Amino acid sequence: MLVLRSSPASPFGRKVRIAAAVLGLSDRIEIVAADTNDPGDSLRRQNPLGKIPALVLEDGAVLYDSRVIVEYLDWLAGGGKIIPAAPGRFRILTLQALADGIMDAAILQIYETRFRQPDQYVPKWQDHQAAKVERALERAEAAPPEAAARDIGAIALACALGYLDLRFGGRWRAGHPRLAAWLDAFAAGVPGFESTRFTAPA
C-alpha cells in the first residue's frame, strides 16, 4: 500500500485524493492523518518541510509535494491520463499552477489568523494575498475548463474553489458565475469531489 499523509481539510491533499479516484488508484492508498503543527508527528521526518500531502511509497521513499505526487500517480496509472502529452500538457500544468497559487494565497490568509494575535494582523499582507486570489479567479472565469475536463488542471481548480467555499463562505461565487457553474458540473460528474469534501464540525 501507498500511504498518503494528509488531513481532511487540506486542499492539496484533496487534489491528490481526487486524482487517485479519477485514476482508479484509491484502493492502493491508505490515508494516515498528519498534524502539521505537531513536532512529534512523523510527517517532519518524512517531509522535512512539514507539509502535507506527502506520499510514502512501498519501499519507504517519500514523495512531495502534491505536484510530484500527482505526476507519480499518473505514471502509475499508465501515464498521460490526467497529465496529458503536449500540446495540452503545458496549458493544463499552468492551470494547475494557477489553482495551486489560489490555494497558497488563501492558506496564507488563514494562517495569518492562526499564527498571529488579532492585534498583530497585517492587513496589507492579507490584501496582497487576497488580490492574488481575485486576479486568478478573474483569469479562470474568463476561460473555465471544459465541462468534461478531468485533468490535473481541472482537479486542482475544483480543489481551490472548494477551499474558498470552505474557508471564505463561498463569496467568490457571486462575481464568477461561469466558474460557479463549472464547479457544480465538475462536482456532479466526479464522485471523488463530494467524497473528499470536508465539512467543519459545527
Ligand X SMILES: N[C@@H](CCC(=O)N[C@@H](CS)C(=O)NCC(=O)O)C(=O)O
Interface residues toward ligand X, by CB under 6 A: 10-12, 36, 50-53, 65-67, 100, 107
**CB-wise, 9 or 184, nearer to ligand X?**
9
**CB-wise, 47 or 185, nearer to ligand X?**
47
Cα–Cα distance for residue pair 124/122, rounded to 1 Å: 5
**CB-wise, 51 or 89, nearer to ligand X?**
51
CB 172 within 8 A of CB 137: yes
CB of 51 to ligand X, least distance (A): 3
CB 139 within 8 A of CB 164: no
- Give 166's contacts (C-beta < 8 A, 6+ positions apart): 9, 198, 200
**CB-wise, 26 or 36, nearer to ligand X?**
36
H-run or E-run covering 30 = strand 29-33
Question: DSSP letters along 85-134, please?
Answer: PTTHHHHHHHHHHHHHHHHHHHHHHHHHHHHS-GGG--HHHHHHHHHHHH
CB of 13 to ligand X, least distance (A): 6
CB of 139 to ligand X, least distance (A): 19
CB of 25 to ligand X, least distance (A): 18
Residue identified by cell 469531489 is: 193
CB of 177 to ligand X, least distance (A): 27
CB of 53 to ligand X, least distance (A): 6
Other CB atoms within a 10 A radius of the CB of residue 111 amount to 11
Cα–Cα distance for residue pair 107/81, rounded to 1 Å: 29
Give the nearest residue (CB) to ligand X: 65
**CB-wise, 50 or 84, nearer to ligand X?**
50
**CB-wise, 8 or 185, nearer to ligand X?**
8
Cα–Cα distance for residue pair 174/171, rounded to 1 Å: 6
